[in-house]
Amino acid sequence: MLICFLVFVADLVQAGSVSVLLGPSDGLHSHTLLLDEERGRLLLGARDHIYLLDPDNPDKTPRKIHWPASRERVDMCRQAGKNPTLECANFVRVLHNYNHTHLYACGTGAFHPICAYLRITGNTEVRIIKESGRLKCPFDPAQPFTSVLTDQFLYSGTSSDFLGKDASFTRSLGPTPDQHYIRTEISQDYWINEAKFISAHSISDTYNPDDDKIYFFFREASREGSDKSIVSRVARVCKNDMGGLRSLTHKWTTFLKARLVCSVPGEDGVDTHFDQLQDIFMLPSRDEKNTKVYAVFTTSSSLFPGSAVCVYNMADIRAVFNGPYAHKESPDHKWVEYDGRIPYPRPGTCPSKTYDPRIKSTKDFPDEVVSFMRMHPLMQRSVSPVGGRPVFTRLRADYTLTHIRVDRVMAEDGHYEVMFLGTDIGSVLKVVSISQENWATEEVILEELQVFQTPSPILSMEISSKQQVLLVGSALGLSRVSLSRCPVYGQACAECCLARDPYCAWDGHSCARYIPAAKRRARRQDIKNGDPATQCWDTEDRKGVEEKLIFGIEKNSTFLECVAKSQQAQILWTFQRAGSERREEIKADDRMLYTTRGLLIRSVRPSDAGSYTCLAQEHSHFTHTLLKIKLQLVTHVQLASKPGEETHLKAESKQHYKDYLRVMSAPYGSLEEYCDSLWLEKRPSRAKGKGLGSSKWKHMQEMKKNRNRRHHVKAEEVQR
């Protein structure tokens, strides 16, 4: 049984792995994060406010810029039947650095989008200009949306109307002499149909600046004859597109789109498609033209719920856009490969003097090129992921993946790309995909962290490379999570190696953060294989394996807790009866239940008394002992009175039962500690006089106070 347990927020806060920057009391409903590590600031767009935080000093009180919607717009929003709390306010959805002095921000404005230039200096902020946010920001706070600001031009994918039906990808703003408003053609059958925009990025295709493009990702409804389905797309436009001269005026003349496929090949030849794109992350590389694209998808089928992560190369995406076009005779027909003559210059090519001195602008395109683009925006071939399948899947889980951020980490045996996956219940999965020699990939879940106390969909995530933290935002708050939590992997070399976390390595004394520059002979790490036998000297079962004594009441349930440090471990239990040398593996059944935190024995029998051993079997077939438990049976005869001894034994059995309950709930590390404490309570005079010296007596009393103090602190944290 593969063990993968959830680490809750209270444990993370206590361990210092999570710190809450803003909480539910701030009334956030946060949507947008802008991390500017160069200027040392973090901005959070929320409900009627923009929060300005210092990422280098998280304990510093954040500044608030109050930016509400006008009272008139709020009243009109309520009269339209919208939710006063969740819709009729100014939810800030756009935050970009406009230049060295100003920010550009947009909000929903109570279903009347507004934008503004902000200048933040010292302890004051100045809002310079307000303007309409239509086609720059969505009307609906919950509507999927994307924007990117580059060279002072704003590219946005959003709806242009109150009802959210006219979805388009637009360009606005820009330096005064070069302002050219452009949008997609209103053509549901050919261009964009019921689109939900996910992400947009400025990417250089060649070393010629005239070839720079905006790539954007979305999902839309596709009609193939009478069939309608949801498909994911990648599209692109040239940054120097000025629209057509006589046709497609103020419309893109270089717009092309292609299908983005993420599927699992089936044994019967039928692929299982994850067709609904949720998020995109572009992992930079040394070559800006060849960034790696990470994408999160979900299924649209309620019969087969699941999520997946697929990875794409920009070279493969460009190859599709350089391939054949698709053709559709009419809206009632299906798309087929276009086999006619392709006009010159090739449709979708950016105008450049380098290629043709006669074509300096898209307005110089021949009419046949513009006409071709109007009816042939779709490419025939689809973009397939690297390896032809997802690098990570999650099927029939109680959550879906919604966000992704990736960090490239250098380890002892190479570079690894660690994925942080946000969910719709507020948890974050830390995953690494490891490529093996046979070109297969291995999915390794390093951790699953519950970042927020109350389940709430994650709305934004960003990685701070400088602070080595993951910033996570939801409607309940903003938290920062440490990228590495090496101490949780245990206090032994083998446990640290088995974790297979690229951030962590055994340094000879503890499991600590791996630092590539550090030269230490004792450093041990093996991410690819996770085999401690080749890295560590403590791979044999250690003599110091923890042993426990547990009491179980006959015909009642008893729980034997045992949790592996490694997330990839398969827990096995063995049992040895008292007086027997034979050890048997426990098979799970209706009475013996394997859980994520141990073994549950229902209706304990006399034959269950004996020694239990908890073993962790790792993926590399390395097996080691985690815990040994001796189960001692408390029968009903011992709890009940006997004839002739009714008064004395009844009181004695009740006292024994009370002692048993105290053992179960006491904050002591072992039964021996509890017995020492109980003995001191009942015979203090003997302890102070004959049995113990006064100094040892004081020492044990102080230990007891400290234990109780820790117990009360934990109880208060749980209540909070």
CATH code (residue 251): 2.130.10.10
Q: What is the mean pLDDT of residues 468-481?
A: 92
Domain that holds residue 527: 486-534
| pLDDT tens by residue, 213-239 | 999 999 999 887 677 899 999 999 999
Same domain, 492 and 558: no
User: Is the predicted pLDDT of residue 463 greater than 90, yes or no?
Assistant: yes
User: Is the predicted pLDDT of residue 8 greater than 80, yes or no?
Assistant: no
Same domain, 520 and 593: no
User: Is the predicted pLDDT of residue 29 greater than 80, yes or no?
Assistant: no
| pLDDT tens by residue, 321-362 | 999 999 998 888 889 999 999 999 999 999 998 888 899 999
Res 647: pLDDT = 45
**Which pairing describes strands 610-617 and 469-474: parallel, antiparallel, or unpaired?**
unpaired
CATH code (residue 492): 3.30.1680.10
Q: What is the mean pLDDT of residues 44-49?
A: 92
| pLDDT grade for 26, boundaries at 50, 70 and 90 | low
| pLDDT grade for 488, boundaries at 50, 70 and 90 | confident
**147 forms bridges with which residues in the sheet?**
156
Q: Which amino acid makes up residue 675?
A: C
Res 712: pLDDT = 44
701: tokens are 């009393």
Res 225: pLDDT = 67
| pLDDT tens by residue, 534-555 | 888 765 545 568 899 999 988 8
| pLDDT grade for 279, boundaries at 50, 70 and 90 | very high
Total domain count, the chain: 4
What is the three-class DSSP state of 482?
Answer: strand
Q: How many Cβ atoms are within 10 Å of 19's Cβ, its own excluded?
A: 14
What is the three-class DSSP state of 289?
Answer: helix
Same domain, 521 and 556: no
Res 155: pLDDT = 98
397: tokens are 């889980």
CATH code (residue 581): 2.60.40.10
Q: What is the mean pLDDT of residues 159-172?
A: 89
- Sequence-distant (6+) residues with CB within 8 A of 245 are 363, 364, 365
SS3 string, 384-409, reads: CCHHHCCCEEEECCCCCEEEEEEEEE
Q: What is the mean pLDDT of residues 63-72?
A: 92
Same domain, 500 and 568: no
Same domain, 498 and 558: no
- Sequence-distant (6+) residues with CB within 8 A of 541 are 624, 625
Same domain, 391 and 493: no
Q: What is the mean pLDDT of residues 669-690?
A: 49
Same domain, 511 and 552: no
Same domain, 568 and 709: no
Same domain, 525 and 624: no
- Sequence-distant (6+) residues with CB within 8 A of 69 are 48, 77, 88, 89, 90, 107, 108, 109, 110, 112, 114
Domain assignment present for residue 439? The answer is no
User: How big is the chain, counted in residues?
Assistant: 720
Query: Full-prediction pTM beyond 0.85?
Result: no
Res 438: pLDDT = 67
Highest mean pLDDT pick, 11-15, 264-268, 688-692: 264-268
Q: Is the dihedral of CA 330, 335, 336, 342 positive or negative?
A: positive
| pLDDT grade for 248, boundaries at 50, 70 and 90 | very high
User: Is the predicted pLDDT of residue 252 greater than 70, yes or no?
Assistant: yes
CA distances from 222 to 83, 226, 385, 442 (A): 31, 10, 21, 34
Res 459: pLDDT = 92
Same domain, 219 and 357: yes
Which pairs with CB-CB distance under 8 Å and at least 24 residues apart come from 112-118?
112/69, 112/73, 112/76, 112/77, 112/139, 113/137, 113/138, 113/139, 114/69, 114/90, 116/67, 118/50, 118/65
Q: What is the mean pLDDT of residues 460-487?
A: 92
Domain assignment present for residue 387? The answer is yes
Q: How many Cβ atoms are within 10 Å of 559's Cβ, its own excluded?
A: 16
Distance CA 192, CA 190 (A): 7
Res 702: pLDDT = 52
What end-to-end distance do the CA atoms of the chain give, in Å? 34
CB-neighbour burial class of residue 257 (10 A; exposed 0-12, middle 13-18, buried 19+): buried
| pLDDT tens by residue, 606-633 | 999 999 999 888 766 677 788 899 999 8
Same domain, 373 and 506: no
Question: What are the φ/ψ torsions at residue 139 (nearest 5 degrees)?
Answer: -75, -40
Domain assignment present for residue 147? The answer is no
Residue finishing a domain among 607, 634, 661 = 634
Residue finishing a domain among 515, 534, 553 = 534
Q: What is the mean pLDDT of the chain?
A: 84
Domain assignment present for residue 51? The answer is no
Same domain, 597 and 717: no
Q: Which residue has the higher pLDDT, 124 or 32?
A: 32
